[in-house]
Structure 1
């Protein structure tokens, strides 16, 4: 009988080194791009700090930005509550705690490992393999929503920004559209993800984690997808407020398209875990809004403000729940030792 407990397989040291240097190289490129763009501006980081100091935090835009933060993460918790109920029934408060714990762990663990670990380790039952699958579905839904809105945003820029309407730009639009269609195909075949249908051991192990995806009804998928979309619109509104807070005012459709492209870039770019995704959003913003003549210091101040309010603040709150996680994990060597004890 297969265990439902989460297995942790060690990554070979050479692979860890390659992954580390790859992340460092890409992160260096991002930081270099930000530095280069700032160098082309008649301002410096002192201007960014000045803009931040002059922020009217008592104004409606700043208050709205801050007050939408718990709403944003409450929607993520609601999506998690809908999806994890196939594994374990949790309250919205428990789901919220798991989400914040995962957000905090994401600062220390690579990619989405921290987010998944925080949620899975918050479960009371031992069905953590299925919990891992539910977490993958949750992340996949948010990715798909970002891809959907991002594709529409890229189409808008293709039609309105001459610099984007190139062969490469049109090929990118075709690739994004293909990814959207592939996502619909995955939803259709999800019920086939059953361990018994796969003769290869490694594939059986993989589908053990993913089989929960085949248990969701269409109604559950639609509800979770709607919540994911509502959450996307919430943090997009927060980004809009942050831009307006620093006097960045463009036509609404251009602002919406720019925000959609920034979040698309942030979604498809690997997480580097240097203070979470700090740097990715900033570099994407500088590139996306460059055709509109928005000065870099204002953009950087707006994106840093969004990061402070919408990421760092919830991370600090989530640290409280990290200490309450159930850290017991059934490792393979522990199972082998238990099996030996039973045999003796």
Structure 2
């Protein structure tokens, strides 16, 4: 027994060490090798000298703690159905998830950072519960993004989407909102989906997780997701504002919601995420200014720097903070407690 405990401790230490090393290497590679952060900073030198820049930067930085704090509160609320945890423990779990997810496709590693802090709850069931929280955030992103596209379809005075009207039919976006909303508020439908597919039968005994929440509880989760969406949209706005890319708050949120919508529906791999963020942001900000790429180098460089700063604030820094929380993860449990997953 003692030998077995010692071996699991060694394995646990090795797994945690590998997670930390890979996360640090990935962040270093992204910032100092792949995208040459020093060159990006050099391009933004003129912006850094403006007196308002650091107040916007500090505000965006402080909102990062609010952003992930809301996510921690949401997960704590969700996971209480299977295990009660403190807000602090939930916050640490969220940061651990950011550390692992920063180098995984579509940030699926968030699940591992969260479920491995739980003492007794079944991890597969906890993963399904976590999916509900992620789906609520996706629904808000789709809802606000779709409304923004519909608005831009009819009002083109600021964002000229006339060239893309054939792809931006309001009926299409209305259907997306309707279908996503129906799925979210009838989340128990996933139980039937599990029953229909043979390869999902292993999840059969955990599917009850989708029926734990009433419509009132789902509405509250959605409300938290909306507040969080507003927080990170304001963060993005502050970054764009600091580089002189937007002046009007409504126009800024309109552009940002479109960017987040596209980012949500495009599958991303960790190694390409910053590049995709740049491309999507350049496209929509370019439309806002009615310019063609590379005609306005100040706009292009400002957009690249703003999105890079936001990535650093909302993902790289929390991932580094999460390194200190990785050590609380419990990959192996004592006998008698489910070790599934």
Correspondence for 2:251 among 251, 254, 264: 254
Alignment correspondent of 2:8: none
Distance 2:317 2:52 in 1: 15
Distance 1:105 1:197 in 2: 27
8 Å contact 1:122–1:326 — kept in the other structure? yes
Alignment correspondent of 1:220: 217
TM-score, length of structure 2 as denominator length: 0.76
TM-score, length of structure 1 as denominator length: 0.75
Verify: 1:164 aligned to 2:161, yes or no: yes
Q: What is the correspondence of 1:185-264 to structure 2 with a 5 Å cutoff?
A: 185-191=182-188, 193-194=190-191, 198=195, 201-264=198-261
Verify: 1:62 aligned to 2:79, yes or no: no
Distance 1:131 1:85 in 2: 10
C-alpha displacement of 1:198: 3.1
8 Å contact 1:195–1:204 — kept in the other structure? no
C-alpha displacement of 1:163: 4.2
Supply the RMSD in Å over aligned alpha carbons.
3.0
Task: Say if 1:292 and 1:112 are closer, same or farther in 2 by CA, change over 3 A.
Answer: closer
8 Å contact 2:106–2:268 — kept in the other structure? yes
8 Å contact 2:139–2:184 — kept in the other structure? no
Distance 2:98 2:326 in 1: 10
Distance 2:205 2:160 in 1: 47
Verify: 1:154 aligned to 2:140, yes or no: no
8 Å contact 1:195–1:207 — kept in the other structure? no
Verify: 1:84 aligned to 2:88, yes or no: no
Alignment correspondent of 2:108: 113
8 Å contact 1:106–1:113 — kept in the other structure? yes
Correspondence for 2:88 among 89, 93, 102: 93
C-alpha displacement of 1:50: 2.3
Correspondence for 1:306 among 295, 303, 310: 310
Verify: 1:183 aligned to 2:183, yes or no: no
Alignment correspondent of 2:23: none
C-alpha displacement of 1:60: 2.7
Verify: 1:290 aligned to 2:294, yes or no: no
Distance 1:327 1:108 in 2: 19
Residues 310-319 or 117-126, more deviating: 117-126
Count of aligned pairs between the two proteins: 289
**Gaps in structure 1 of 5+ consecutive residues:** 1-33, 35-43, 336-344
Q: What is the correspondence of 1:118-129 to structure 2 with a 5 Å cutoff?
A: 118-129=113-124
Distance 1:312 1:57 in 2: 24
Alignment correspondent of 2:4: none
Task: Say if 1:61 and 1:111 are closer, same or farther in 2 by CA, change over 3 A.
Answer: closer
Task: Say if 1:104 and 1:45 are closer, same or farther in 2 by CA, change over 3 A.
Answer: closer
Distance 1:311 1:73 in 2: 10
C-alpha displacement of 1:45: 5.2
Alignment correspondent of 1:323: 327
Distance 1:209 1:51 in 2: 55
8 Å contact 2:141–2:264 — kept in the other structure? yes
Task: Say if 1:194 and 1:269 are closer, same or farther in 2 by CA, change over 3 A.
Answer: closer
Task: Say if 1:177 and 1:107 are closer, same or farther in 2 by CA, change over 3 A.
Answer: same
Alignment correspondent of 1:134: 129
